[in-house]
Amino acid sequence: MARRAFLTFIVVLLLAIGMLPVLSMLARSVIVDGRLSLASYAGLLASSRQWSLMRNSMVLSCLVTALAVAVGVPLGILLGKTDLPFRRFFALLFVIPLLIPPYIVAVSWFDLLGREGLLMHLVGATAAGATARLLFGLPGCVFVLFSIFLPIPMLLTMIFLRTVNPRLEEAARLVSNWRGVMKGITIPIILPGVLLAAMLVFILTFGEFSVPNFLRYDVFPVESFTQFSAFYNFEAATAAAVPLAAVTLLVLLVEAAFLRKRTYQLRPFSESERLPPVELGARRTWLSACVGVAGLVIVVVPVVVLIVQSAGMDAYAEAMNRAGGSLLRSLLYAAIGATLLTVFGFFTGYLIQTKAFRCWRSVDSSTIFLLALPSTVIGIGLISLWNTPRTNLVYGTPVIIILGYLAKYTALTSRISVAQLAQIPPSMEEAAQVAGAGWFRRMGLIVAPLARRGLLSGWLVGYIFSLRDTGITMLVYPPGHETLPVRIFTLMANGSPDLIAALCVVMTAATLLPAGILWTIPNLLTRKVTG
Amino acid sequence: MSPRSICFVLSALIFVSCSKPQDTVVVYVSEDQVFSEPILRDFERETGIEVRAVYDTEEAKSTGAMNRLIAEKDNPQADVYWANEPIRAEVLKQKGISAPYVSPNAEDIPPEFRDPDGYWTGFSARVRVLVVNEGVEDGPGTILAYTDPRWEGRSVIANPLFGTTTAEIAALFVIWGDERAREFMAAMKRNRVAISTNNGESADFVAAGQYDFSLVDSDDAVNRMRQGRPVTMVYPDQEEGGMGCFVVPNAAVFIKGSPHPEAARRLIDYLLSGETERKLAFADCAQIPLHLGVQTPPELKPMSEIKVMRVDYADVARKMVEIQPFLKAWMGL
């Protein structure tokens, strides 16, 4: 009874926080002056510009997805299946761009390749002009987003490789070399993971606003943001957001139809069960060099450029003077957001894993839908719902920012919880139940401690995504409560490049340092358990 | 973390955020944060009144803060709006979002730069000027150069759908009438004018020699000159009988239903002071003071020496809305 009541409460809360704003926004877009009107949608369909924006969004998403999968999957195989030197270091290195706000990566490339960037001092204005032309527009957007989302197929490939039954590969090795085994056994088995990665990269690129906006490539999310921010046309902004939601929904339906069962059955084999890494032999060195060069270009160069651009303590002193408060606020809101996300994610994950309600699939789909929905849409929805004198306690305070985080990122912590809970034998909880422990005690004393590694990972992921959030926060932050990413955005208008670069370095450090510290905790816990 | 601790943290957060001491003022700012924030900090330091600000982003094209005010009409959060031009202040007046307040510091600001009913008051202005590459001999002295065949393919202008360029084109429609203004726009297009995303980019194009001249804000031109870039600044249409430069003052607006009215009035008084104008003149935004006798940096002429375009900002605001479809069509959207 307690379980049912509490999980119902969680579901209702999730719907109220996440789905209600979106529904409210949709309602507002079709009810004009108290009457049903589809004028905004008619205007949208009639405009050729919208079709061109949609085409741009699709082209960008397809190119980034294709490139990220084409590079990420082989990279994941190299790092997860072979004896490539420094493979753990490389895996961590390539993850860095995913952890920092996307537009910071774009700013860094601009500082290097822009018309007056560092490259101009090295190769002259003509060559720099050519690279600037490439950076601004489709090629630049594709490259920057590719470097940001590359870790997704790489990591998923590495994770799915651990789920391949070693006996199958061992049997195949008797009749074939590794190339044949990979082709005939391993890759077909990890294909759902590759498709899941492709889907994630596609919807994340499709909803991405900050990079295309910065690099002046018109896409649909920019249109929705502009309609809202520049013209404050709620109806047009919503109408412009609906195609985004429709495409997201379509991709999720594909995922539900083809991938859901496969991805939930993740049962990684332990280190001792797995086959030894594939020996690369003579190719080991040059493959390692190739991966190293790729890491240098994709990760090290942009970070170094920011550091070079911000050189000098003056820029950092100015950055802290101007944005010290924003940094503290960012850390506070991200910590609160991460904690709430962990709690919500844990219980929704529990609901999904145990199939506690018949609607478990709808709950899961709703969280994923909100994750995939562009931030602009959620932000507009939150304003539409909470901007009233009676709800000032929410709208006029940072609570609105926290609600945004919960609406957008619960899917991440929920999925992590599902994966962790799947590894806890149900008999543990059942034994406690037989011994007379109530549901809350079972959760507090049995399930949560066993899932502590997942809870920590969930908190970390929630923290990183809350900290780097720009789309929602920029639209809803109350006066005087801007976060660091928002402050960087507002200072970009005529702010000096060294100040912006210094702020970007501070932002990157604020993300990576706590992430680095907390990353080690689950590993220490694992070592303690296995040791 | 237990549910009880979460409730505690949330309650603390709400409490801290909701406490509205009288010594607080909420201001929405369209002027670039990098220039406006130091002024607001000085105000905090000098008065002890805490300033909570919402700044615009470049992406919102300086209209995000105004639009947020419109959305919050029935639930005002702001006390003051610091607009970076008077047109949006006029829009707020027309929509019933602002309230009149005549500051004692507004007395010697010329009447053409303030609303007669006190709904907004101008201060620290930008002037629309021509930025011209130093390599160009016998450069243009009028905005009509955009239609002169001599400059075919050699001029650039910022996207007329946004910012001060929209305002100036609307002002031309008001002064010349629709027919002549439309013909000017068509001739400009025939003369193969290039379109940039903003005034800063236009000035950079001219500095790089990609184009010969552009109509930009005076701060864009002064910035490039201070950076040692090869450009000069020309105040257009200054000859006898010429229509003069379009002036774009900042505007301080008092918000109707302001939660902190007393602090709001003090902030407006502060913004309209000669001292604030002096600071903005010597900052990188290089804005021209409207008070008589306030010092200006050497790159700029005092307002008294500039021939100013005589136009009613209320008419410009109305015209700006009216010509939006024309401008969209002109841009091919």
8 Å CB contact between A349 and A418: yes
Point out the least confidently predicted range of A494-508, B95-109, B265-279: A494-508
- Is pLDDT at B10 greater than 60 in this prediction? no
Provide the chain B residues 72-101 that lie in CB contact (below 8 A) with chain A: 72, 74-75, 77-78
* Range(s) of the domain holding residue B284: 22-125+248-300
Rounded distance between C-alpha atoms, residue A70 and residue A64, angstroms: 10
Alpha helices in A469-496, H assignment, sequence order: 471-476, 484-491
Task: Please tell me whether residues B210 and B326 are part of one structural domain.
Answer: yes
Tell me the mean pLDDT in the region A223-239. Answer: 67
The residue among B297, B300, B280, B168 whose CA lies nearest residue B233 is B300
Nearest to B52 among A226, A398, A480 (CB): A480
Rounded distance between C-alpha atoms, residue B81 and residue B92, angstroms: 10
Give the H/E segment covering residue B80: strand B80-83
**B108 to chain A nearest CA, in Å?**
30
**Residue that the structure tokens 């602090």 belong to:** B263
Banded pLDDT at B12 (limits 50, 70, 90): low
Tokens of B150: 């001599």
The residue among A507, A476, A478 whose CA lies nearest residue A491 is A507
Rounded distance between C-alpha atoms, residue B260 and residue B19, angstroms: 13
CATH topology assigned to domain A310-531: MetI-like fold (1.10.3720)
What is the tens place of the pLDDT at every residue in B26-35? Answer: 999 988 888 8
Residue at B235: amino acid letter: Y
**Within-domain flag for B4:** no
Banded pLDDT at A377 (limits 50, 70, 90): confident
Specify the number of domains making up chain B. Answer: 2
**B107 to chain A nearest CA, in Å?**
30
- Is pLDDT at A108 greater than 90 in this prediction? no
What is the tens place of the pLDDT at every residue in B213-240? Answer: 999 999 999 989 988 889 999 999 999 9
Residues 6+ apart with CB under 8 A from B184: B144, B146, B147, B172, B176
- Is pLDDT at B2 greater than 60 in this prediction? no
Measured between beta carbons, the chain B residues lying within 8 angstroms of A339 are: 1, 6, 9
Task: Please tell me whether residues B227 and B201 are part of one structural domain.
Answer: yes
DSSP-assigned states of every residue in A282-340: THHHHHHHHHHHHHIIIIIHHHHHHHHHT-SHHHHHHHHHHHHHHHHHHHHHHHHHHHH
Does A491 touch chain B if contact means CB atoms closer than 8 Å? yes
Task: Please tell me whether residues B73 and B98 are part of one structural domain.
Answer: yes
Measured between beta carbons, the chain B residues lying within 8 angstroms of A225 are: 59
Q: What does the pLDDT read at residue B8?
A: 56
Banded pLDDT at A42 (limits 50, 70, 90): confident
**A493 to chain B nearest CA, in Å?**
5
Rounded distance between C-alpha atoms, residue A498 and residue A496, angstroms: 6
Task: Please tell me whether residues B222 and B325 are part of one structural domain.
Answer: yes
Residue predicted with more confidence, A519 or A143: A143
- Is pLDDT at A531 greater than 50 in this prediction? no
Rounded distance between C-alpha atoms, residue B225 and residue B218, angstroms: 11
Task: Please tell me whether residues B220 and B326 are part of one structural domain.
Answer: yes
**Residue that the structure tokens 């929905």 belong to:** A373
Point out the least confidently predicted range of A108-117, A304-313, B57-66, B77-86: B57-66
Residue predicted with more confidence, B6 or A315: A315
Nearest to B13 among A396, A398, A493 (CB): A398
* Maximum pairwise Cα distance, chain A: 77
- Is pLDDT at B201 greater than 50 in this prediction? yes
C-alpha to C-alpha distances, B307 to A257, B84, B244, B310, B329, nearest whole angstrom: 70, 21, 5, 9, 32
Banded pLDDT at A528 (limits 50, 70, 90): low
Does A231 touch chain B if contact means CB atoms closer than 8 Å? yes
Provide the chain B residues 118-177 that lie in CB contact (below 8 A) with chain A: 162
Three-state secondary structure readout of A159-198: HHHCCCCHHHHHHHHCCCCHHHHHHHHHHHHHHHHHHHHH
Task: Please tell me whether residues B92 and B119 are part of one structural domain.
Answer: yes
**Within-domain flag for B84:** yes
Banded pLDDT at A487 (limits 50, 70, 90): confident
Measured between beta carbons, the chain B residues lying within 8 angstroms of A229 are: 57, 59-61, 63-64, 67
**Mean pLDDT score across all residues of chain B:** 89
Task: Calculate ∠ Cα A129-A133-A134, nearest 5°.
Answer: 120
Complex prediction ipTM = 0.71
Nearest to A399 among B13, B56, B285 (CB): B13
Q: What does the pLDDT read at residue B333?
A: 63
Task: Please tell me whether residues B162 and B227 are part of one structural domain.
Answer: yes
Considering only alpha carbons, which residue of chain B is nearest residue A448?
Answer: B1
Q: Cβ of A343 and B6 within 8 Å?
A: yes
Q: Cβ of B77 and A479 within 8 Å?
A: yes
Does A336 touch chain B if contact means CB atoms closer than 8 Å? yes
**Within-domain flag for B12:** no
8 Å CB contact between B132 and B159: no
Nearest to B71 among A230, A336, A383 (CB): A383
Task: Let me know how long chain A is.
Answer: 531
Tokens of B50: 């805490």
Considering only alpha carbons, which residue of chain A is nearest residue B51?
Answer: A480
Rounded distance between C-alpha atoms, residue B29 and residue A193, angstroms: 47
Q: Cβ of B57 and A493 within 8 Å?
A: yes
Task: Please tell me whether residues B146 and B238 are part of one structural domain.
Answer: yes
Bridge partners, residue B7, by sequence: none
Tell me the mean pLDDT in the region A401-405. Answer: 96
Alpha helices in B208-332, H assignment, sequence order: 218-226, 261-271, 274-282, 313-322, 324-330
8 Å CB contact between A491 and A318: no
**Residue that the structure tokens 């709904």 belong to:** B119
Give the H/E segment covering residue A10: helix A2-14
Output DSSP code: residue A436.
T
DSSP-assigned states of every residue in B255-274: ETT-SSHHHHHHHHHHHTSH
**Within-domain flag for B71:** yes
Rounded distance between C-alpha atoms, residue A455 and residue B201, angstroms: 48
Residue at A132: amino acid letter: A
Provide the chain B residues 239-258 that lie in CB contact (below 8 A) with chain A: none
Q: What does the pLDDT read at residue A288?
A: 92
**Residue that the structure tokens 């590694």 belong to:** A453
Q: What does the pLDDT read at residue B235?
A: 97
**Mean pLDDT score across all residues of chain A:** 83
- Is pLDDT at A260 greater than 80 in this prediction? no
- Is pLDDT at A427 greater than 70 in this prediction? yes
Does A321 touch chain B if contact means CB atoms closer than 8 Å? no
**Within-domain flag for B143:** yes
Residues 6+ apart with CB under 8 A from A337: A401, A402, A405, A406, A409, A462, A463, A466
Nearest to B52 among A226, A388, A479 (CB): A479
Rounded distance between C-alpha atoms, residue B180 and residue A304, angstroms: 54
Q: Cβ of A480 and B1 within 8 Å?
A: no
8 Å CB contact between A158 and A91: yes
**A355 to chain B nearest CA, in Å?**
24
Does A452 touch chain B if contact means CB atoms closer than 8 Å? no
Measured between beta carbons, the chain B residues lying within 8 angstroms of A498 are: none
**Within-domain flag for B314:** no
DSSP-assigned states of every residue in B180-208: HHHHHHHHHHHTT-EEESSHHHHHHHHHT
Q: Cβ of A125 and B208 within 8 Å?
A: yes
Task: Please tell me whether residues B267 and B207 are part of one structural domain.
Answer: no
CATH assignment of the domain containing B214: 3.40.190.10
Alpha helices in A82-165, H assignment, sequence order: 87-99, 102-113, 118-123, 125-135, 138-149, 151-161
What is the tens place of the pLDDT at every residue in B118-164? Answer: 999 999 999 999 999 999 999 999 999 999 999 999 999 998 887 78
- Is pLDDT at A337 greater than 50 in this prediction? yes
Q: Cβ of A226 and B77 within 8 Å?
A: no
Q: Is B74 exposed, middle or buried (0-12, 13-18, 19+ CB in 10 A)?
A: exposed
Bridge partners, residue A82, by sequence: A278
What is the tens place of the pLDDT at every residue in A45-96? Answer: 777 777 888 899 999 999 999 999 999 999 999 998 899 999 889 998 998 8
Task: Please tell me whether residues B223 and B115 are part of one structural domain.
Answer: no
Bridge partners, residue B196, by sequence: B158
Residues 6+ apart with CB under 8 A from A141: A60, A64, A211, A212, A215, A217
Tokens of A288: 């390692």
Task: Please tell me whether residues B35 and B170 are part of one structural domain.
Answer: no
Measured between beta carbons, the chain B residues lying within 8 angstroms of A481 are: 17, 52
Rounded distance between C-alpha atoms, residue B94 and residue A110, angstroms: 41
The residue among A344, A350, A368, A333 whose CA lies nearest residue A473 is A333
What is the tens place of the pLDDT at every residue in A183-216? Answer: 888 888 888 888 888 988 998 898 887 788 788 7
Considering only alpha carbons, which residue of chain B is nearest residue A319?
Answer: B34
Measured between beta carbons, the chain B residues lying within 8 angstroms of A398 are: 13, 17
Does B37 touch chain A if contact means CB atoms closer than 8 Å? yes
Banded pLDDT at B97 (limits 50, 70, 90): very high
Rounded distance between C-alpha atoms, residue A419 and residue A264, angstroms: 7
Task: Please tell me whether residues B142 and B199 are part of one structural domain.
Answer: yes
Tokens of A399: 């609570």
**Within-domain flag for B9:** no
Q: What does the pLDDT read at residue A69?
A: 96
